[in-house]
Amino acid sequence: MTLISFLSITIAVFALVATFAVRTGFRAEFVQTVLGANPHTTIYSSLYINDRGDRSALIPDYEEKVNRIASIEGVDHVVPVISSRLLISSGPNNTGVELFGLSIENIRKIPLINQPVSFFGDLENLNSGIAIGNGVARNLGVRIGDSIRLISPDGVKTAFGVSPRINSYQVVYIFEVGRYDIDSTRVYLPFAEAQKFLNREGYADELAVFVNDPESVEALEPKIIEMAGDGFFAWSWKDSSRSILRALRMEDNLMFIVMSILVLVASFNIVSGLIMLVKNKSSSIGILRSVGLTRGSIMRIFFIFGALIGTTGTIAGVIFGCLFAIYIDPIFTFVNYLAGGDVWDPSVRFLSNVPAKIEFVDVLSAVILSLVLTYGVTLIPASRAAKMYPGEAIRYE
């Protein structure tokens, strides 16, 4: 019973620590990829009537606004961006992509594009070609040096309507940031070339703002919008990821409750073991009580015994949980091999690998929860042993 109680606590705490590590790692990985490849907040213009009488949301005086917003305390830098959803093709293959037009200098400021998980080619050659994600390259079947075609519906206006604009570009840089929805949809062109290709000369589609503390970007948004002027609004990384962040918080609470129940169930193995021990040792308890041992002493004996099981089981569970988090990649590789693949599908989860991150607060929470529950339930059989009357305990001895 002691061994079963010890293993139950160990497995429960192991599951608790491993769950916390994966949960924390998933959020950290998600936030890192979002902030590493996207602006912290983006400034857009509301629709207005331009000089030609057309409805437009382009930003004409973007350089002035960039300088004004960059002067705000807490803002690191501001980047004008050309963006559009286009069709890209190579031979018989084609796919939809999200085009971003930035200068090489500004692309270098995007951490996961400048220093991705893996890459081919040289970003410095972007002025003579195009940069694409490895998922895009895989869908098109292209490599460095191959030519691709960008197709924009906003092309040349003719007497028969608008003719799509098609330009060919050489692939000079292929990047992989480790997030499926970025690697499989994103391409980059030089800012001036993107303006020319999309008929945006003298305009920007949006202003990408990067701040010193991304977690508090919402506090800076009112000042940023004020500097941008009337008719502008902001959309931060928290807005674009709000549903996922809310789901992660909800999952945190639910998993904590479920894992707490698991630890509580494991703790009751200690109760059952100690109750059996009290039953078997009733005559010994009676003899000790009859020679003067106090109820408090009896209670402390059984409490220390149960607490020792809970403490050692908790320590073992923490060790195994931390080892699981540290070696999670080879473990999942082995599990994936045994299952024949598809255990972790990046196209569904948007992450290439299973993330895990050990936080001291998470481990401390698991330890406190386990010790409080195991110590608490240990009081039940310990108090029962202390209340045993010596006469009743040794009557039939």
Is the residue at 167 inside a domain?
A: yes
Same domain, 248 and 218: no
The whole-number pLDDT of residue 353 equals: 64
Same domain, 217 and 279: no
The whole-number pLDDT of residue 2 equals: 78
Is the residue at 252 inside a domain?
A: yes
The residue from 178, 202, 230 where one domain ends is: 230
Same domain, 16 and 66: no
**One digit per residue, pLDDT tens: the chain, 397 residues?**
778 888 888 888 898 898 888 888 877 877 777 778 888 999 998 887 776 666 778 888 889 999 999 999 999 989 999 999 999 998 888 888 999 999 889 888 888 888 888 889 988 889 889 999 999 999 999 999 999 999 887 766 665 566 778 899 999 999 988 777 788 999 999 999 999 888 888 889 999 999 998 888 888 999 999 898 888 999 988 888 787 778 778 877 888 888 788 788 887 777 777 777 776 666 776 667 667 777 778 778 878 888 888 889 899 999 999 999 888 888 877 777 777 766 665 555 555 567 788 888 888 988 898 888 888 888 877 777 777 666 555 555 5
Same domain, 53 and 174: yes
The residue from 230, 252, 287 where one domain ends is: 230
The whole-number pLDDT of residue 101 equals: 93
Dmax over CA atoms of the chain, in Å, equals: 112
Q: How far is CA 220 from CA 151, 215, 332, in A?
A: 37, 11, 41
Number of domains in the chain: 2
Same domain, 7 and 98: no
The whole-number pLDDT of residue 352 equals: 57
Nearest to 234 by CA among 76, 55, 98, 45: 45
Same domain, 53 and 165: yes
Q: How far is CA 181 from CA 32, 88, 129, 342, 346, in A?
A: 14, 16, 22, 18, 9
Same domain, 300 and 375: yes
CB 141, CB 90: distance < 8 Å: yes
CB 169, CB 130: distance < 8 Å: yes
d(CA 209, CA 220): 11
Is the residue at 199 inside a domain?
A: yes
- Parallel/antiparallel/unpaired status of strands 206-211 and 147-158: unpaired
Is the residue at 190 inside a domain?
A: yes
Is the residue at 266 inside a domain?
A: yes
Is the residue at 277 inside a domain?
A: yes
Is the residue at 249 inside a domain?
A: yes
In degrees and rounded to multiples of 5, residue 212 shows phi and psi of: -75, -35
Same domain, 336 and 213: no
The whole-number pLDDT of residue 355 equals: 77
Same domain, 53 and 193: yes
The whole-number pLDDT of residue 35 equals: 79
Same domain, 173 and 100: yes
Same domain, 252 and 220: no
Domain that holds residue 372: 2-29+244-394
What element of type H or E holds 141?
A: none
